């Protein structure tokens, strides 16, 4: 009768060893050259450098690609005389990573304008962008996670992910000759939305619910921002109006307001004012073209002023 | 690190906090959910054996109540219907057992089966019926509003289980007067939602045995192994193949030959590993509690004929359809024509059981037709099927025929099915589109589906290891632990965790 006990003991041993082995294996993924994710990692790095080199208090535009394409930090600086950096890259990074990245750059006097895609209010999802960013470009994020989150993140790596990245590490998978990287302005705005490309891909799917952990995440984020002497203003994401009418229900919006109130975060603007007509769409329902960006940026600044938000002052003024 | 600040956005997560694991499938407690694996299962297991130490009846009651809770977690609104169905069928079972004569027994059985079928029909087929009437009436005709009916989870399975029980009562094969045991028979959580469809005699006598109420390390080890293999089938094979299948079937357009075959093979393996994975998990869970359930799959894609396929695929359902539909219709007792007609009727209804849509009916009709052709072929007495070449040809023909039928099973409409079928026969061109890595999932699935040792064989070997080969035991156990943990970890990356057969 010892055999089943040996078997069961070995099952437990195998189950315990695997996460430790994968954790160790993930160390080898640092700085792998990966064509598919490099635009995210490099974009975040460059934007972070811009933010960190700005010593004066500034507006930090944070969120997913609706912010990346939706607001122009350069225009804010040029037209309103307020220093600003666009930190946003991709909603697939997930709200927790976006918060983490923003906190690295927030400092005293900053105003964080947070425009999360509607999907980011819901249950946490695991997009490849998040795991690739964490394991290849930003292991510091992984290192500070609780162990159970580490196990979840390791588990989100599919066998295909492991195979692809380990082959790239071993040099068996050659990078493309020209990697596509973000075309950024000096303030971190993505500026390749001048040519019309209205294919209108769907963008991230969402359930239209505020997830049970959202309020806690937002509260923790706002608290950490305040500890740095900065403040957060939540704005609604830019979304094409037809899509907005089709998918956004009043109850969901009310839940967002309730969550923001509970987290002690001020909401600026309205969801309707963030919805834009198709003529200003670039290539997805969340992305504005250059003209749309100009209009949305002015609208954002007007709404911040109307809400009485204290804008960081330009050092020259 | 840029900025030099180490701040976590989840500072409360440093303690032993299981909340992150429980967030992804809120509202559902699937076998492949963290709620089930880390919460429900250990609690019910410990509670069962702790209670059994004091009282066996209490242990059975604990299992029955836990099963009701399991069902209620899915849908509290559907729980009253399940409980009512159990109470009514229990009473009918008693009355049939006590009936004075054959005529009374028959009348009671007819009433009970009729009540079950009306209930099932109302919830599952009323809108299908109205949609069909509206379609026949056309644009000019009066359109009837569809009903606001929500299909209760598992209703097809628990209805069939109870019909089988009533027929067995009618035939004098079983008698169950203890309500608690009847409740447990129907609701026992490993089989409640998606089968196997059980006979009372296959499960309940085991609850009468004292050894069931003592932990058996060998059964527990085999149960863990089966559960692990089932979970891995679902998470590591079915779900990735499902994503590829969805890419084809959600917007079929005019797929070329390779794309159509890639999507269809992906679906063929998705549905097999999804349902076989579920069945393995159900059998494994039950074995942990010392209860052996009948196997539901026996490597069906190794079948060398369509008759062979139906002896290996969803065995509990095909046995039910044979015993309670095909045989009562007359089976093969009234000549060849009646036999083929009965086969067609059985498979048509079997198709309709899977879903309220004409595409399912066509799927059933195709399999009925395949079976008729197979029986006609056998009547010719051809011996070619016994040679290696004949068996290989039979295997290939069977597999391709099954794949063609899956097109109707999966497609959202006949128009979509026709698009895919045109692609499968090359009428939409030949363009190599899916990448090599996308075929890798299919290749792995193919190899596993054809592997001589299926999960039941492996679990049986683990259960009966007595000869003390520690190195082999430890290696297998270690590999099983790695597979279990990897599957559990992968749950966090799943896009479509629900089992396909839950919709039927």
DSSP, collapsed to helix, strand or coil, labels residue A276 as: strand
- A158 at the B interface (CB within 8 A)? yes
pLDDT at B7: 29
Give which of A96, A76, A99, A77 is closest to A87, Cα–Cα. Answer: A99
Tell me what pLDDT residue B12 has: 30
Alpha helices in B292-332 (DSSP H): 306-312, 315-321
DSSP string, B234-301: IIIIIHHHHHHHHHHHTS-SS--HHHHHHHHHHHHHHHHHHHHHHHHHHHHHHHHTT-PPPP--S-GG
Mean pLDDT: which of A31-35, A151-155, B88-92 is highest? B88-92
Cβ separation B5–A2 shorter than 8 A: no
Residue B367 near residue B306 (C-beta atoms within 8 A): yes
| Residue B6 pLDDT greater than 50, yes or no | no
B354 is catalytic: yes
**Region for residue B37 given its phi and psi (left: phi exceeds 0; alpha: psi -120 to 50; beta: otherwise):** alpha
Q: Is the dihedral of CA B487, B488, B490, B493 positive or negative?
A: positive
Give the whole-number percent of chain B exceeding pLDDT 90: 54
Judged by DSSP in three states, B485 sits in helix
How close does chain B come to A18, measured CA to CA in Å? 6
The torsion angles phi and psi of A231, rounded to 5 degrees, stand at: -130, 160
B402-412 mean pLDDT: 94
**pLDDT at position A202, please?**
63
Q: What is the pLDDT of residue B21?
A: 40
Label residue B114 exposed, middle or buried (CB < 10 Å: 0-12, 13-18, 19+). Answer: exposed
Nearest to B481 among A11, A124, A221 (CB): A11
pLDDT band with cut points at 50, 70 and 90 for residue A284: confident
**Percentage of residues in chain A with pLDDT exceeding 70?**
93
Q: Please check the confidence at residue A203 and state whether its pLDDT lies above 70.
A: no
pLDDT class of A198 with cuts at 50, 70, 90 = low
What distance in Å separates the CA atoms of residue A233 and residue A250, rounded to the nearest whole number?
21
Cis peptide before A142 (omega within 30 of 0): no
Contact flag A13-B468 (C-beta cutoff 8 Å): no
Task: Kindly provide the ipTM of the predicted complex, given to two decimals.
Answer: 0.81
pLDDT value of position B81: 93
Nearest-CB residue to B492 (from A49, A100, A152): A152
Cα B480 to Cα B222: distance, rounded to the nearest angstrom: 11
Give the pLDDT band (50/70/90) at residue B458: confident
Chain B: give the shortest CA distance to residue A251, in Å: 19
pLDDT digits (tens, 9 = 90+) for B464-497: 876 666 677 888 899 999 999 999 998 876 554 5
Q: Which of B93, B243, B255, B82 is nearest to B166 (CA)?
A: B93
What chain B residue is nearest to A223 in terms of C-alpha separation?
Answer: B9
Q: Which of A2, A8, A11, A265 to mutate to test the interface with B (most CBs of B within 10 A)?
A: A11
pLDDT interval class at B31 (50, 70, 90) = confident
- CB-side neighbour CA atoms (13 Å) of A260: 19
CA distance A38 to A207: 29
The structure tokens listed for B276 are 């076989």
Residue bearing the bigger pLDDT, A103 or A201? A103
State residue B139's pLDDT score: 66
| Chain B residue with Cα closest to A145 | B8
Can you tell me the mean pLDDT for B345-368?
92
For the stretch B144-181, pLDDT in tens is 777 777 778 888 889 999 999 999 999 988 888 899 99
Min Cα separation B395/chain A (Å):
30
More confident residue, A312 or B232: B232
Distance CA B398, CA B377 (A): 13
**In this structure, what DSSP letter does residue B381 have?**
T
Model pLDDT for residues B262-273, shown as the tens digit of each residue: 999 999 999 999
Residue-wise pLDDT for A96-146, tens only, equals: 999 999 999 999 999 999 999 999 998 877 788 889 999 999 999 999 999
- Mean pLDDT value across residues A181-197: 82
Task: Map residue B327 onto helix, strand or coil.
Answer: coil
Structural domains of chain A sorted by starting position, each given as residue range(s) with its CATH number in brackets = 31-175+182-306 (3.40.50.1110)
CB count, 10 Å around CB of B454? 20
The answer to whether the Cβ–Cβ distance between A145 and B466 falls below 8 Å is no
Q: Does A309 touch chain B (CB under 8 A)?
A: no
Best mutation site among B458, B493, B494, B496 for testing chain A: the one with the most A CBs within 10 Å? B493
Average pLDDT value for residue range B359-380: 93
Taking an 8 Å cut-off on Cβ atoms, the answer to whether B9 and A155 are in contact is no
CA distance B266 to B237: 10
Tokens of B25: 């499938």
CB contacts < 8 Å between A and B, how many? 176
**Exposure of B162 in the CB half-sphere (CA atoms within 13 A):** 35
Q: Is A111 helix (H, G, I), strand (E, B) or coil?
A: strand
d(C-alpha B14, C-alpha A68), whole Å: 32
The residues near B325 (Cβ < 8 Å, ≥ 6 apart) are B345, B346, B349
pTM, rounded to two decimals: 0.83
Specify the higher pLDDT residue, A305 or A203. Answer: A305
**Closest chain B residue to A50 measured between Cα atoms?**
B2
Q: Do A154 and B493 touch (CB under 8 A)?
A: no
Distance CA B198, CA B158 (A): 9
pLDDT of A185: 86
Q: Report the mean per-residue pLDDT for chain B.
A: 85
Question: Are B9 and A154 an interchain contact pair (Cβ–Cβ within 8 Å)?
Answer: no
In the prediction, which pLDDT does B299 show?
A: 93
- Of the residues B170, B199, B314, B354, only one is catalytic, namely B354
Helices B455-463 + B217-232 axis angle, to 10? 160
For A29, how many CA atoms within 13 A lie in the half-sphere containing its CB? 25
pLDDT of residue B55: 94
Confidence of residue B291 (pLDDT cuts 50, 70, 90): very high
Q: How confident is the model at residue B373 (pLDDT cuts 50, 70, 90)?
A: very high
Residue A232's beta-bridge partner residues? A112
Q: Sign of the C-alpha dihedral, residues B440, B442, B446, B448?
A: positive
CA B167 vs CA A78, B108, B285, B318, B323: distances in Å: 83, 10, 28, 16, 10
Mean pLDDT of chain A, nearest integer: 90
Q: Give the per-residue pLDDT at B141.
A: 65
């Amino acid at each position: 009768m010892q055999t089943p006990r040996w078997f069961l003991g070995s099952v437990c041993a195998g189950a315990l060893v695997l996460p430790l082995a994968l954790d160790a294996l993930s160390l080898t993924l640092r700085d792998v050259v990966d064509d598919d994710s490099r635009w995210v990692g490099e974009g975040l790095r460059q934007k972070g450098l811009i933010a960190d080199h700005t010593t004066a208090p500034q507006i930090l535009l944070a969120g997913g690609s609706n912010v990346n394409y939706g607001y122009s930090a350069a225009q804010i600086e040029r037209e309103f005389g307020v220093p600003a950096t666009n930190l946003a890259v991709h909603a697939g990074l997930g709200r927790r990573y976006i918060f983490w990245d923003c906190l690295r750059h927030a400092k005293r006097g900053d105003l964080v304008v947070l425009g999360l895609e509607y999907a980011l209010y819901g249950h946490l999802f695991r997009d490849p962008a998040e795991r690739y960013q964490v394991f290849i470009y930003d292991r510091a994020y992984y290192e500070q996670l609780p162990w159970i989150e580490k196990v979840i993140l390791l588990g989100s790596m599919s066998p295909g992910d492991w195979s692809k990245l380990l082959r790239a590490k071993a040099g068996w998978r050659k990078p493309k000759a020209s990697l596509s990287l973000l075309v950024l302005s000096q303030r971190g705005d993505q500026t390749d939305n001048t040519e019309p490309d209205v294919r209108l891909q769907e963008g991230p799917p969402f359930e239209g619910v505020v997830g049970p952990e959202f309020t806690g995440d937002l509260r923790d984020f706002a608290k950490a921002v305040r500890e740095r002497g900065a403040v957060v203003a939540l704005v609604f994401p830019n979304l094409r109006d037809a899509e907005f009418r089709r998918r956004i229900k009043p109850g969901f919006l009310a839940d967002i307001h309730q969550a923001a109130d509970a987290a002690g975060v001020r909401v600026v603007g309205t969801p309707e004012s963030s919805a834009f007509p198709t003529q200003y769409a670039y290539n997805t329902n969340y992305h504005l073209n250059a003209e749309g960006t100009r209009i949305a940026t002015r609208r954002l600044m007007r709404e911040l002023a109307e809400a009485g938000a204290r804008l960081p002052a330009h050092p020259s003024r | 690190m840029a900025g030099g600040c180490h701040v976590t956005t989840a500072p409360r997560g440093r303690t032993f906090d299981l909340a992150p694991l429980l967030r992804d499938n809120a509202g559902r407690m699937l076998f492949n959910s963290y709620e089930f694996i880390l919460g429900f299962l250990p609690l019910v297991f410990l509670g069962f054996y702790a209670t059994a130490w004091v009282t066996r009846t209490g242990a059975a009651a604990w299992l029955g109540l836990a099963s009701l809770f399991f069902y209620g977690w899915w849908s509290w609104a559907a729980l009253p219907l399940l409980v009512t169905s159990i109470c009514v069928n229990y009473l009918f079972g008693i009355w049939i057992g006590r009936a004075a004569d054959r005529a009374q027994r028959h009348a009671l059985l007819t009433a009970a089966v009729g009540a079950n079928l009306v209930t099932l029909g109302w919830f599952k087929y009323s809108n299908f019926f109205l949609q069909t009437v509206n379609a026949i009436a056309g644009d000019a005709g009066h359109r009837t509003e569809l009903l606001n009916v929500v299909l209760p989870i598992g209703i097809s399975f628990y209805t069939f289980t109870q019909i089988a029980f009533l027929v067995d009562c009618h035939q004098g094969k079983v008698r169950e007067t203890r309500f608690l045991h009847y409740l447990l028979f129907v609701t026992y959580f490993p089989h409640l939602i998606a089968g196997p469809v059980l006979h009372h005699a296959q499960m309940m006598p085991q609850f009468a045995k004292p050894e069931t109420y003592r932990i058996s390390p060998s059964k527990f080890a085999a149960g863990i192994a089966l559960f692990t293999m089932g979970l891995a089938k679902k998470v590591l094979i079915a779900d990735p193949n499902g994503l590829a299948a969805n890419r084809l079937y959600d917007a079929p357009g005019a797929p070329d030959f390779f794309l159509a075959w890639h999507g269809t093979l992906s679906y063929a393996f998705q549905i097999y590993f999804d349902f076989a994975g579920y069945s393995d998990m159900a059998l494994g869970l039950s074995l942990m509690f010392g209860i052996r359930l009948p196997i539901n799959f026996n490597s069906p894609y190794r079948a060398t004929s369509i008759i062979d396929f139906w002896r290996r695929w969803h065995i509990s359902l095909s046995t039910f359809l044979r015993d309670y539909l095909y045989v009562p219709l007359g089976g093969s007792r009234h000549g060849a024509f009646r036999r083929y007609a009965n086969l067609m009727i059985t498979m048509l209804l079997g198709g309709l059981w899977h879903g309220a849509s004409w595409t399912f009916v066509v799927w059933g009709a195709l399999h009925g037709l395949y079976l008729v052709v197979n029986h006609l072929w056998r009547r010719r007495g051809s011996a070619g099927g016994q040679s290696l070449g004949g068996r290989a040809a039979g295997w290939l023909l069977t597999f391709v025929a099954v794949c063609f039928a899956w097109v109707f099973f999966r497609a959202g409409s006949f128009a979509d099915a026709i698009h895919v079928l045109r692609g499968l026969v090359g009428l939409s061109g030949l363009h190599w589109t899916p990448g090599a890595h996308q075929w890798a999932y299919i290749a792995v699935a193919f190899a596993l589906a054809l592997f001589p040792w299926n999960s039941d064989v492996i679990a049986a070997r683990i259960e009966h290891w007595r000869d003390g080969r520690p190195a082999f035991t430890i290696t297998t156990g270690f590999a099983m632990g790695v597979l279990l943990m990897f599957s559990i970890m992968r749950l966090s990356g799943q896009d479509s965790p629900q089992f396909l057969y839950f919709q039927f």
